[in-house]
Amino acid sequence: MIEVSNLTKYYGDIKALSDVSFNVNDGEVVGLLGPNGAGKSTTIKILTGYLQPDDGVVKIDNLDVLTHTREIQTRIGYLPENAPLYPELTVQTYLRMIADLREIPREAQQARLSEAIYATGLADRLTQPIAQLSKGFRQRVGLAQAILHQPKLLILDEPTIGLDPTQIVEIRHLIQRLARNSTILFSSHILSEVEAVCDRVIIIMNGELKADAKLDELSTSSDAILILQEETAGVNQALQALSGVSAIEPLRSTDGHPGYRVTAQSDVDLCPSIYDLARRSDWPVRELRRDVRTLESVFNQLATAE
Ligand code: ADP
Ligand code: MG
């Protein structure tokens, strides 16, 4: 659905994006995760045709965004980082105006408006001028305009920024509901948010793509953890000799037992061969498992490596 190839973008001398490539498949919910200034909004503006890259190509539904800008903009739902709302208009008037702009046929407008208003919980704010709304409600108006024409693809730039915890949970549920019928790419600098909603996460830092993986792939490392009942001679050497092993690091379990972290040369699960070796060698195995990392630890590892 989205194909991003080798995007590079400069603002004057600042390199905001450097050779960024990724895809988003039909039906996926993908989180674009990165700290402030990472290049998320820049990426999203290029994807939606509101900013031109210095290099690289974006295709949406196989159409080049640079040459089919209008067409693509009508197909997608986009929540920009600063939604251009009209402060003097009431919520209702604003959404009607958007419905006209999107050329939603008059006879379909009422139903679409009701759905969007219901989905974003705006029913009791319809006659209020946008200027009087809290940040959270303005964000909902932004979301309502993004989903009004029932786009198959939603691109949301930090949809929960500035919201309080209750509102964040509500928006999260809304994204989950919308995900049943749409492909969604949304950016965030909040790990837990991405973790809660996404199938896949793309991490960018300093304008560079650092990771692109399903959540469970990211959180499963290729390290195996072997914990023994007590110190056992020859274990280290035997593990070294095991095929596919690249490094071994001694460790202690939280309850004080000796063990090893065994790192694989490639992304293979070493546990079956370690299990086999341990059984043959009669080691007093207490625990053998693949290491599970949290998204937070992955993110922090990447951030410290920067
Ligand atoms: P994010 O959305 O991840 O916070 P941005 O894409 O907004 O990051 O910004 C990426 C980098 O580009 C930052 O260093 C930011 O300061 C810079 N930048 C963004 N917009 C502009 C602009 N209009 N002019 C100059 N620099 C910009
Ligand atoms: Mg941003």
Ligand 1 geometric centre to CA of 61 (Å): 27
Question: Which pTM was predicted?
Answer: 0.82
Predicted pLDDT at 202:
96
The confidence band for 100, taking pLDDT boundaries of 50, 70 and 90, is: very high
User: From the CB of 241, is ligand 1 less than 6 Å away?
Assistant: no
What's the average model confidence in pLDDT over 218-238? 90
> Which region among 77-81, 85-89, 170-174 has the lowest average model confidence (pLDDT)?
170-174
Ligand 2 geometric centre to CA of 82 (Å): 9
Of 9, 42, 205, 209, the residue with max ligand 1 atoms within 8 A of its CB, to mutate for a pocket test, comes to 42
Indicate if the pLDDT at residue 220 is higher than 80. Answer: no
User: From the CB of 11, is ligand 1 less than 6 Å away?
Assistant: yes
Contacts of residue 229, Cβ cutoff 8 Å, sequence gap at least 6: 257, 284, 285, 286
What's the average model confidence in pLDDT over 180-195? 89
Strand-by-strand arrangement of the 183-188 sheet: 76-79, 153-156, 183-188, 29-33, 200-205, 208-214
Of 9, 11, 46, the residue with max ligand 1 atoms within 8 A of its CB, to mutate for a pocket test, comes to 11
Q: Which atom of ligand 1 is closest in space to residue 38's alpha carbon?
A: 3
Ligand 2 geometric centre to CA of 34 (Å): 9
Instruction: Give the integer Cα–Cα distance in Å for 130 and 149.
Output: 21
Q: Kindly report the protein residue whose alpha carbon is nearest to atom 7 of ligand 1.
A: 41
Instruction: Give the integer Cα–Cα distance in Å for 211 and 108.
Output: 42
> Which region among 67-76, 152-161, 222-231, 295-304 has the lowest average model confidence (pLDDT)?
295-304
Ligand 2 geometric centre to CA of 180 (Å): 26
Residues 115, 174 contacting (CB under 8 angstroms) = no
Indicate if the pLDDT at residue 169 is higher than 90. Answer: no
The confidence band for 273, taking pLDDT boundaries of 50, 70 and 90, is: very high
Contacts of residue 110, Cβ cutoff 8 Å, sequence gap at least 6: none
pLDDT > 90 fraction of the chain, expressed in percent and rounded: 69
Ligand 1 geometric centre to CA of 243 (Å): 46
Residue type present at position 30: V
> Which region among 95-99, 133-137, 203-207, 233-237 has the lowest average model confidence (pLDDT)?
133-137
Paired with 247 in beta bridges are 263
pLDDT digits (tens, 9 = 90+) for 37-51: 999 999 999 999 999
The confidence band for 228, taking pLDDT boundaries of 50, 70 and 90, is: very high
Instruction: Give the integer Cα–Cα distance in Å for 7 and 201.
Output: 18
Q: Which atom of ligand 1 is closest in space to residue 157's alpha carbon?
A: 2
Of 7, 8, 14, the residue with max ligand 1 atoms within 8 A of its CB, to mutate for a pocket test, comes to 14
User: From the CB of 38, is ligand 1 less than 6 Å away?
Assistant: yes
> Which region among 56-60, 124-128, 140-144, 220-224 has the lowest average model confidence (pLDDT)?
220-224
Indicate if the pLDDT at residue 14 is higher than 80. Answer: yes
Predicted pLDDT at 164:
80
Indicate if the pLDDT at residue 191 is higher than 90. Answer: no
For ligand 2, an ion, list residues with CB under 5 A.
40-41, 81
pLDDT digits (tens, 9 = 90+) for 290-305: 887 777 778 877 877 7
Neighbours of 106 (CB within 10 A): 8
Predicted pLDDT at 162:
75
What's the average model confidence in pLDDT over 57-82? 94
Indicate if the pLDDT at residue 114 is higher than 80. Answer: yes
The confidence band for 108, taking pLDDT boundaries of 50, 70 and 90, is: very high
Predicted pLDDT at 252:
92
User: From the CB of 254, is ligand 1 less than 6 Å away?
Assistant: no
Predicted pLDDT at 265:
85
Instruction: Give the integer Cα–Cα distance in Å for 158 and 146.
Output: 13
